[in-house]
Structure 1
């Protein structure tokens, strides 16, 4: 899953794709480099970020989603809002990636129940405005797994087919470096619940804390390694900035296996 943020304030690539034509070109380049899915996001979720209006989010993402879908890319829209998801699905998106696990907008679950799109349910602690502060974890893998499986069960009860649901433990989003590593190592435990698992650790702040590399763009070597490790541990999808490097590394890892 390639990351295409069309925001001015994302932690790594904010401001790079404010021109829809540039975002579409980058998305198509990622597909040519081996991306299976292009994830388009119009609202930053970095710690401290403020929410944007649904109208502004839609203004940012809709032309990019439509442009990529028209060129046969499998497009995911990274949104918490039913109005944004509805317009993007109508424009050809085939997946909704929601950091709130369909909790922030009560209209989103029934919308998806009536569609055929896939949905990614992600775990987070707190909100970005509060830097994802929350109570400490006793067993982060078990607690995140319990939350996600519970959300998936609720979605199934609302009419979303099980085969359309993937789970994301939310690397970052209020977790410590140790907790993030535990969640990546525990991808298999989450996958054992019977849903595909998505891991998105690319360029995140905990890599900087582990390596001393402050600039997010310089964290790609560690990001590629974590993507390979996540796949080895049971992840079905890895969400990345460096598509070409990750695809090469996954190919070599598969050859070794």
Structure 2
């Protein structure tokens, strides 16, 4: 691309007017500054820490046609069991279900992760299980939507069945600390096959709950129309 704009100029009959010459010079300077900013802004590049705030929203709306999403999370409160409501609040043997929902505008970081999920083309166009797992791990670990090397996909489980697809995100693993190995403990000190273990929770998947909320809110596009459920383990 050109580094300089095509400059504006006066018609010949106005060349001797200092005021008009100053106006054209100021206009060209301002236009050059705007053009230089446009060259260096990398507006289509939404990942990383450069574009943020209102500029990110402007880019997302103007170039990609999307608005900042809203996460919707809900829960149910069921009243009717003994001692769950005040006296005379419900009829005898009555039952009441109250749905509570919260709506939260996502942060810039989460917004970029969602946009990367929906617009990233580096994985190709052929759907496979590793293809889906790479996208999930990129969402979980790619800060500000950047691409990451994610060859270790053991913590993501994808299962297809007749009722749809099931995605499980494992946030930890269990480590065996002690077991009933032969000759490793005193006689009658342990029961048969007794063992002890601890759960090691990973801190790499802090966005697992947000991934589930974004998925349940319909913000993450999938290449098929089967129902998908997301479960977080650990």
Q: Which TM-score applies when normalising by structure 2?
A: 0.20
Where is the helix percentage greater, Structure 1 or Structure 2? Answer: 1
Give 1 or 2 for the bigger CA radius of gyration: 2
Where is the strand percentage greater, Structure 1 or Structure 2? Answer: 2
